[in-house]
Chains A and B, each alone.
Chain A
Amino acid sequence: LAKTTQPISMDSYEGQEVNITCSHNNIATNDYITWYQQFPSQGPRFIIQGYKTKVTNEVASLFIPADRKSSTLSLPRVSLSDTAVYYCLVGDMWNKLVFGAGTILRVKS
């Protein structure tokens, strides 16, 4: 299973764009890249998933370079309610995904 490396924490201010980068040097051909958000005392919530290039949905964008050895989650115009832990996972989407320690994002006013 591919291991991921993310920053331990990041700080931002309301209204800014936040980019969280994840390294996954040994990603396999069949692996997808998935990001989750987790608030205290809640289960993780799916944000976005991609295989290559760029994926965008109503809450975030995911940028994946051609070599797929890293990915960047982009959150546009964050608010205080985006303060959470963000996890990057790499794996075969139909089997087990392994969570790393995640990135603590703190959004300040």
Chain B
Amino acid sequence: NAGVTQTPKFQVLKTGQSMTLQCAQDMNHNSMYWYRQDPGMGLRLIYYSASEGTTDKGEVPNGYNVSRLNKREFSLRLESAAPSQTSVYFCASSGEQYFGPGTRLTVT
């Protein structure tokens, strides 16, 4: 089992560009989550999906959209990137929350 995988690992965007962060899990979990972590801070929940076909806002959803494509995949989209979205993004799955390795995003 690969667990939770995320792509890409690193990304640099210019202000206003868009991109989609991909997340997939092979553990047959119902719940999936997207967090962001700024330097020296704890993780903040952006969006979560309790099951396939459902999504809900977390603590900091503004500027992001999500898609729960199927049970395995949960993507996070930045429509118009801003420097304030420079962060490390983590995807997680299940109630105990197994985390992926993270995507380090820089917006210039």
Contacts and interface: CB of A to CB of B under 8 A. Distances in A.
Nearest to B92: A43
Interface residues of B, number: 24
A99 B42 contact: yes
A81 interface: no
Contacts of B86: none
A103 B31 CA distance: 26
Interface residues of A, number: 20
Interface in B84-104: 90, 92, 95-102
Nearest to B90: A43
A43 B96 CA distance: 13
Tell me which of A36, A87, A96, A99 has the highest count of chain B C-beta atoms within 10 A of its own C-beta. Answer: A96
A97 B97 contact: yes
A98 B43 CA distance: 8
Nearest to A89: B97
Contact of A96 (B41, B48, B100, B101): B48
7 contacts: A42-B102, A43-B101, A87-B42, A93-B95, A98-B59, A99-B42, A102-B42
